[in-house]
Amino acid sequence: MRDVLRILLPPLVWLASFSAIYGLHGVGCVLLWPEVAMPVMSLFRWLLLLAWLAAVLVQVGLLLALRSERFRSDSPFIRWTSTAMSWVGLIATLWTLYPVAVLAPCAAG
pLDDT category of residue 101 using cuts at 50, 70 and 90: confident
Res 76 pLDDT > 60 = yes
pTM: 0.88
Find the mean pLDDT for residues 14-28. 93
Collapsing DSSP to helix, strand or coil, 42 comes out as: strand
- Residue 31: name the closest of 41, 20, 23, 39 by CA: 23
pLDDT category of residue 72 using cuts at 50, 70 and 90: confident
What DSSP designation does 44 have?
H
Which pLDDT does position 13 carry in this prediction? 96
